Amino acid sequence: MPTTCDWENSVFKRSIENLGNRTLQAVWRIGFAARFFVAVLLHSGTAFRRFGLTIREMYFTGVLSLIIILVSGLFVGMVLGLQGYETLQTYGAEDALGILVALSLVRELGPVVAALLFASRAGSAITAEIGLMKATEQLSAMEMMAVDPIARVVAPRFWAGVISMPLLAALFSAMGIFGGYLVGVQLIGVDEGAFWSQMKSAVDFEQDILNGVIKSVVFGVAITTIALFEGYDAPPTAEGVSGATTRTVVTSSLAVLALDFILTAFMFRGLN
């Protein structure tokens, strides 16, 4: 019958099939990522028993990210000092510069910008490394030797990232506050006592600093999980590894921003 024949080959049907296929792929990938995450958690005994493995990865993810984190923190803090002073002085409230710099860094900029830098500096490196290990069949070789690649390769990197991220965010915030102090107090000449004492009275340890640390731990889990999964799932070709590296940076940056909104909505809603 002509009508069924039309339906079989119609663009409409094919686009529906295409959509269904994409949806199934996406759901399958999310499920695979979740199972991967659980597997990493279950196999993380080795990462703690042989803590040397984790320390080695902390060197590559944490210590080598220090330069970019410290320098960016300093400059972000210095820009905050300049811009904040410009705006605050129109209201005659330049003494509140310390509050502005400290609160914006500790609550938002510290965890988020440090996480974005971490994703592009360390996350991409993790994906490329694991993707290449897979492409050159090092992971298969490990399995042949009865070594679990998740426990030996993936879990130490996961825990190294989760431990490094809050430390990097704290360093970023501290460096930024120092940068704000340099510009605000030393360069522009805001009163030093007012800068520190107003900051101290406005920043609360539990509400602001602890919440910032919680944020950075969540970002650390998200970034390292995405980076490890993309590397582990990458097609074993040069093109596949490069695509996976790009996807790591894009996906984890978006995940950090989305998670930041959700966490902020929970933490700071109804504070006042």
Which parts of this chain interact with other proteins (CB under 8 A)? 52, 55-56, 58-59, 62-63, 66, 102, 106, 164, 166-168, 170-171, 173-175, 177, 196, 199-201, 203-209, 213, 271-272
- How far apart are alpha carbons 131 and 121 in whole angstroms? 16
Rounded to a whole number of angstroms, the minimum distance from the CB of residue 102 to other proteins is 5
Choose between 153 and 244: whose C-beta lies nearer to other proteins.
153
- How far apart are alpha carbons 245 and 248 in whole angstroms? 5
Choose between 154 and 175: whose C-beta lies nearer to other proteins.
175
Rounded to a whole number of angstroms, the minimum distance from the CB of residue 254 to other proteins is 26
Choose between 14 and 200: whose C-beta lies nearer to other proteins.
200
Q: Amino acid letter at 76?
A: V
Choose between 24 and 55: whose C-beta lies nearer to other proteins.
55
Rounded to a whole number of angstroms, the minimum distance from the CB of residue 135 to other proteins is 24
- The three-class DSSP label of residue 50 is coil
From the centroid of its chain, how far is CA 97?
28
Asked whether 78 and 49 are in contact (CB, 8 A), the reply is no
Q: Which of 53, 270, 271 is nearest to 153 (CA)?
A: 53
Choose between 135 and 152: whose C-beta lies nearer to other proteins.
152
Rounded to a whole number of angstroms, the minimum distance from the CB of residue 204 to other proteins is 5
**Within a 10 A sphere around the Cβ of 64, how many other Cβ atoms?**
13
Asked whether 110 and 169 are in contact (CB, 8 A), the reply is yes
Asked whether 195 and 185 are in contact (CB, 8 A), the reply is yes
Cα three-residue angle 159-161-164, rounded to 5 degrees: 105
Choose between 66 and 132: whose C-beta lies nearer to other proteins.
66
Rounded to a whole number of angstroms, the minimum distance from the CB of residue 208 to other proteins is 6
Rounded to a whole number of angstroms, the minimum distance from the CB of residue 77 to other proteins is 12
